[in-house]
Amino acid sequence: MKEFLISDESLNSHGLTVRTSGIRLDRFLANPVMYYNHDRSQGVIGRWENLRVDGSRMFAAPVFDMNDELGKKIARKVEDGFIKAASIGITDVEGDMREILSCVLYECSICDIPANPNTLALYHNDLPVKSYNDYINIKLSMKNQNQKQPQQPAIDTVKIAEALGLPAGATEQDILAAIAALNRAPDSGENIVNSALQMKYISSDECGELTALGRNNAAALARYVDRRKTKRQEELNAEFDAFMRESIQKGRISAGQFDTRQLREFAASDFQMFKRVVESIPERVFLKDLIRLSANKPVSNKADRNTWTLRDYRKYAPQELRNNPQLYAELVDRTYFEKQ
């Protein structure tokens, strides 16, 4: 497979240049993964070999995973000349708003359109960052604060929170969670709402209002749905625990009989179906309960032999006692317990 130009010092679509000499390669060389369009959710489609630097340009040769459907598909498109571009993903950025002087090569992707916003991917805490200016502002703010005001917070949370639609008191963890939610958010508020409705995180009555919110701020809607997801999971966990205690008390299942984690996953996927399956298991009947029933309940139906005592069998079915020694022994034991 022919090699790709994966980076040079030309101006990219974000208005930035990346200094080739400042790209640190150790992390990448230890794990030279290849994605498609920087989309980690689709998995690794191959690796890179023979990485080399020629002046300000960096080259590498792709090796596609032909056992992976997407890897095989992209390999064919590259071989046939339909895809010709690659793009680096970098993290630990240092520089200014025009030039990245130092960074770590995180991954390298095959890309279909080299001039699209994915031409250069920035990462923070192993997550791709959608707002690249915010990422660089975070790095610059951290550098400036360390140099000039070491006692101040490294991140200007007020400005970043405002840019992400968060309240002014948002913490750094809130900001990182918001960026992660933004990265996970589908393309439209309607898709977010439909997905949340299917998972029962919201009710149908809320769909209209939440869809309108998503049109204006999909990230805010994604964060709201995340909170509802957390609340719903807490409710399901509490309901699951209560139902399991009841099922154990009724003898449908016993403690330690099943993998609780697997049962919890089944319940999370469809709790009503889970309940129907468990409730279809007959309740356990204990010997002491049979003794109590037979002692206190008169024989009203000769066909209902579950409640018959030894006296009942002797009266109504003596031949069955003669033919079934095990039954006779059980009835003798039961009669003994009744007299205790």
How much is the pLDDT for 21? 92
- Among 278, 283, 309, 305, smallest CA distance to 295 is for 309
pLDDT of residue 149: 47
> What is the structure's pLDDT at 180?
67
Task: Look up residue 218 and give its two tokens.
Answer: 């999909």
The predicted structure's pLDDT at residue 237? 87
Question: What per-residue confidence (pLDDT) applies to 291?
Answer: 56
CA distances to 4, 25, 58, 62, 216 from 46, in Å? 14, 18, 18, 7, 38
pLDDT of the residue at 252: 81
Please give the pLDDT value at position 96.
Answer: 74
CA angle at 205 for the pair 201 and 210, rounded to the nearest 5°? 65
**Long-range CB pairs of 263-268, under 8 A, 24+ apart, other chains included:** 264/237, 264/240, 267/236, 267/240, 267/243, 268/233, 268/236
In 3-state terms, what secondary structure has residue 249?
A: helix
Q: What is the per-residue pLDDT for 71?
A: 94
What global pTM score does this model have? 0.41
DSSP 8-state class, residue 326: H
Element (H, E) at 195: helix 189-198
**What is the model's pLDDT at position 115?**
47
pLDDT of residue 337: 62
Going residue by residue through the chain (340 aa), what tens digit of pLDDT does each one get?
678 999 888 887 767 788 999 999 999 999 999 999 888 889 999 999 999 999 999 999 999 999 999 999 999 999 998 998 898 988 888 887 678 899 999 999 999 876 445 556 777 777 777 665 666 666 666 566 555 544 444 556 677 777 777 776 777 777 777 776 665 544 456 777 777 777 777 888 888 888 777 777 777 777 888 888 888 888 888 888 898 888 888 878 777 777 778 888 888 778 888 888 888 887 776 555 555 555 555 544 455 677 888 888 888 888 888 888 888 888 887 776 665 5
Measured distance CA(34)–CA(64) in Å, rounded: 8
